[in-house]
Amino acid sequence: MPGVNSGLIVAAVDDTDASRRALDWAAREARLLRRRLRVVHAFDWPLRQRVPHSARGFDLDEFALDDYARRVVHEAVDRVRKREPEVEVDALHVVGAVAPTLLQQSEGAHLIVAGSRGLSGVRAVVLGSVGLQLAALAECPAVIVPDRETGAPTGRVVVGVDGSPAALAAADRAFAAADARRATLRAVAVAGRSSHGVFAAMEAPEVLNDPERAAALAEARRRLSESLAGLRERHPDVHVEEEVLTGHPAEVLIAESHYADLVVVGSRGRGGFTGMLLGSVSQTLLTHTYCPVMVVHARKR
């Protein structure tokens, strides 16, 4: 059954520069994909030290939280209409728990987008609980946009592939993203022994002897080729680069993000990308990426 937000791109907004960067990315994506955009501001009543800059100077007893939230979403909608006038946009503001509100909005959505740093409800979204919950629990792919200036478009989408269900779902989304952008898809696998442990994402890169390294590289190439075969047929116009690398998965993808418009990863994996968004690897990748990161979950059966 379709979700209540079927087809929407949802952007979490507040009054920070990080949020505005994410909003601009979401608006461009909505234009590119010809999808409706919804801006959502969720704000739980802050303690005095958490009051956003724009609210300072008000007497907290007289501070109208609802009025503040209305202003945030009004400014967000106005920004979208000025920058991407062809995008259909609406707004929602909710006074309540931030993560549950955003997770609810992800139900049936095409994407949910948030900035990597911020104040108010979505402050420090990557490093704090809200961002981790979006990455781990959103019903749709979650895109985290870094709070940094980006250069000119590179015409490249990068996807981490290891043969796991989540990585296959990520590859599906990455092909679609590359197709929509008329970009090159760079599919990357990390060679190494498969590890299924809870703390696999925190393991150091393996030191392999020559026979082990050759076998690991061959296995990674096989998984990569098999993972992409059907998707190549569905997206014949997408130019694909396949690359098998060695090293730590987070470091590999961070390096790739220097030269990409988007990095796409599965929420869980095996081998080189095991537990990609659990624990230290996820925080390293999402904190240090040079381009937006899309986190995709395996399809539910």
Q: For residues 49 and 176, state if they share a domain.
A: no
Q: For residues 15 and 138, state if they share a domain.
A: yes
**What average pLDDT score do residues 85-107 get?**
92
Q: For residues 265 and 173, state if they share a domain.
A: yes
Please tell me the predicted confidence (pLDDT) of residue 20.
94
Q: For residues 187 and 213, state if they share a domain.
A: yes
Exposure string over 223-248, b if 16+ CB within 10 A, otherwise e: bbeebbeebeeebeebebeebbbbeb
Would you place residue 92 in the very low, low, confident or very high pLDDT band (cuts 50, 70, 90)? very high
The answer for residues whose C-beta is within 8 angstroms of residue 160's C-beta and 6 or more apart is: 167, 170, 188, 189, 190, 249, 252, 253, 263, 264, 265, 266, 269, 272, 273, 276
Higher-pLDDT residue of 248 and 195 is 248
Q: Tokens 């240090």 belong to which residue?
A: 288
What are the backbone dihedrals phi and psi of residue 195, each rounded to the nearest 5 degrees, phi first? -135, 130
- The residue out of 145, 173, 195 marking a domain boundary is 145
Q: For residues 64 and 99, state if they share a domain.
A: yes
Q: Which of 58-72, 85-99, 257-271, 281-295 has the lowest mean pLDDT?
A: 58-72
Range of the domain at 60: 9-145
- Whole-number Cα distances in Å, 109 to 3, 6, 113, 222: 7, 5, 11, 33
2 falls within a domain: no
Q: For residues 89 and 195, state if they share a domain.
A: no
- The residue out of 88, 111, 145 marking a domain boundary is 145
Q: For residues 47 and 165, state if they share a domain.
A: no
53 falls within a domain: yes
151 falls within a domain: no
pTM: 0.84
301 falls within a domain: no
3 falls within a domain: no
CATH for 193? 3.40.50.12370
Q: How many CB atoms lie within 10 A of CB 158?
A: 28
Q: For residues 33 and 13, state if they share a domain.
A: yes
Q: For residues 79 and 191, state if they share a domain.
A: no
Render pLDDT for 24-53 as a digit per residue (tens, 0 to 9).
999 999 999 999 999 999 877 654 344 455
Q: Tell me if residue 297 falls in helix, strand or coil.
A: coil
Would you place residue 16 in the very low, low, confident or very high pLDDT band (cuts 50, 70, 90)? confident
150 falls within a domain: no
CATH for 32? 3.40.50.620
CA distance 37 to 230: 31
Report the domain count for the chain. 2
Q: Cα angle vertex 265, ends 261, 269, to 5°?
A: 165
Q: For residues 138 and 59, state if they share a domain.
A: yes
Tokens of 193: 């022994």
Please tell me the predicted confidence (pLDDT) of residue 206.
54
Q: For residues 121 and 170, state if they share a domain.
A: no
CA distance 234 to 162: 20
Please tell me the predicted confidence (pLDDT) of residue 120.
42
Please tell me the predicted confidence (pLDDT) of residue 15.
87
Q: Residue 5 above 70 pLDDT?
A: no
- The residue out of 126, 145, 164 marking a domain boundary is 145
206 falls within a domain: yes
Q: For residues 88 and 109, state if they share a domain.
A: yes
Q: Where do the DSSP E strands lie in the chain? A: 9-12, 37-42, 89-94, 111-115, 142-145, 156-160, 184-190, 240-245, 262-266, 293-296
